[in-house]
Structure 1
Amino acid sequence: MKSYLITDPSYYGTTPDNLESALDVVYSHNLPEFAVFRDKQTSDYPTLAQTFITISREYKIPRVLLHGDYRLASTLDADGVHLTSSQQNDIAAAKRSGLYVIISTHTHEEAFEAQKLGADAITYSPIFPSPNKGEPKGLEDLKEIVAKIEIPIFALGGITTEEQIKAVEECGVYGFASIRYFI
C-alpha cells in the first residue's frame, strides 16, 4: 500500500530553513511514495514549494506534488498537483501540463466526477475523526467507494496509527494519506 505525506505549516514551519529541517527529520524515518507541499497561509508559497521539491528530490521521493496550483507545479517541475475538491474544472488543464493529478473528494459524487474528468487518483476523507474535518466517513463507506471507483483511492483523515493503516488497507485502498502520521 502506498503512503502519501501531506505537509502542514504547523508541523513543518514557515521558512525554507524550518521546512528543510523538518523534512530531513521526517524523511530520515519514513520515505513515502507520494508527498505534497500544502501551506494555505504563506505569502511565499513559490519559495517554500521550491525548497520542498528540492529536498524531496534529494530523498528520491517518487512523486512530488504541490497543492492547488497546477501552473506553479508545472513551472517548478513537480511531478503533479493535488487539487482541492472545488478545483475539478482544473483537472484537464493540469493533465495537459503533464502532471499527475490527485484531487480531494468527500462524497461519492465528487469521486465519480473526478474519475470522469480524468484525475489520476483521489483522496477520500475524512475516514477517521480529524481536527476541523467534519463527521468521519468510516470504514464501511470507504469499502463502498473502493468497490465503485476504478482510479486509485488514498484514504485520508485521522490516520495516525499502524492499526488505522491496516484497517484502511483491508478496505482495498491504493494507499493512505496523512499529515500527522509522518510527524
Structure 2
Amino acid sequence: MKSYLITDPRFYSTTPTTFRMTMQKTLQKHQPDFALYRDKNNPDYAEMAKLFLELCSGSGKTKAILHGNVGLAAELHAYGVHLTSQQFDEIEAAKASGLFVVISCHSEAEILEAQRRGADAVTYSPIFNTPDKGEPKGLEDLNERVAKISLPIIALGGITTKAQVKAVEQSGCYGFASIRYFIDN
C-alpha cells in the first residue's frame, strides 16, 4: 500500500529553514511514496514549492505533488498535481502536461467522474473522524468503493494511528494519505 504525506503549514511552517528541517526529518523517517505540498494561503507558494520539490527529489523515493495548480506543477516538473473536488475540468490539461493526477473525491459519483475523465488516482474522504470535515465515511463504505471501482483509491481523513493504516490496508486501497500520521508517529 502506498503512503501519501500531506503538508500543513501548522506542522511544517511557512519559513524555509523550519520547513526544510521538518520535511527532511519526516521524509527520512517515513519515506512516503508521495508527498503533497499544500498551503492554500502562502503568498510565496511557488518558492516554497521549489524547496519542496528539491527535498522530495533528495529523498530518493518520494514523488512530489503540488496542490491545485496545474500550470505551476508542469512548470516546476513536479511528479503530479492534486486537484480539489472543484477542479474536475482541469484533469485533461493536467494529463496533457504529463502530470500524475490525483483528485479529491467525497462520493462514488465523484470517483466515477474522476475515472471517466482520466485521473490516475483519487483521495476518498473522510474515512475517520477529522476536524471540520463532516461525517466520516467509515471502513465499510471504503471497502465497498474499493471493491466496486478500478481507479486507485487513496483513503484520507483522520488516519493518525498504525491500527488505522492497517485497517485501510485491509480494504485493498491503493494507499493512505494523512497530515497528522506523519507528524505523530
Taking structure 2 as the reference length, the TM-score comes to 0.97
Asked if 1 retains the 8 angstrom alpha-carbon contact of 2:31 and 2:62, the reply is no
Same amino acid, percent of matched pairs = 56
Deviation beyond 4 Å, 4+ runs, structure 1 = none
Q: Distance in 2 between matches of 1:88 and 1:16?
A: 32
* 2:173 aligned residue: 173
* 2:57 aligned residue: 57
CA shift at 1:60, angstroms? 1.6
Secondary structure at 1:4 match in 2:
strand
How many residues end up aligned between the 2 structures? 183
* 2:76 aligned residue: 76
- 1:55-76 deviations in whole A, cap 9, x for unaligned? 1100123421000001100001
Q: Which runs of 5+ in 1 are unaligned?
A: none
CA shift at 1:28, angstroms? 2.2
- 1:19-71 deviations in whole A, cap 9, x for unaligned? 10110121221100011100011111000100100011001234210000011
How do 1:1-183 and structure 2 match up within 5 A?
1-183=1-183
Asked if 2 retains the 8 angstrom alpha-carbon contact of 1:35 and 1:61, the reply is no
CA shift at 1:131, angstroms? 1.1
Q: Distance in 1 between matches of 2:124 and 2:26?
A: 24
Q: Distance in 1 between matches of 2:89 and 2:182?
A: 31
- 1:116-153 deviations in whole A, cap 9, x for unaligned? 00000000000000111110000011011111211111
Secondary structure at 1:94 match in 2:
helix
Q: Distance in 2 between matches of 1:172 and 1:120?
A: 17
Q: Distance in 1 between matches of 2:19 and 2:60?
A: 17
Q: Distance in 2 between matches of 1:30 and 1:62?
A: 10
Q: Distance in 1 between matches of 2:70 and 2:12?
A: 22
Taking structure 1 as the reference length, the TM-score comes to 0.98
> Aligned Cα RMSD in Å?
0.8
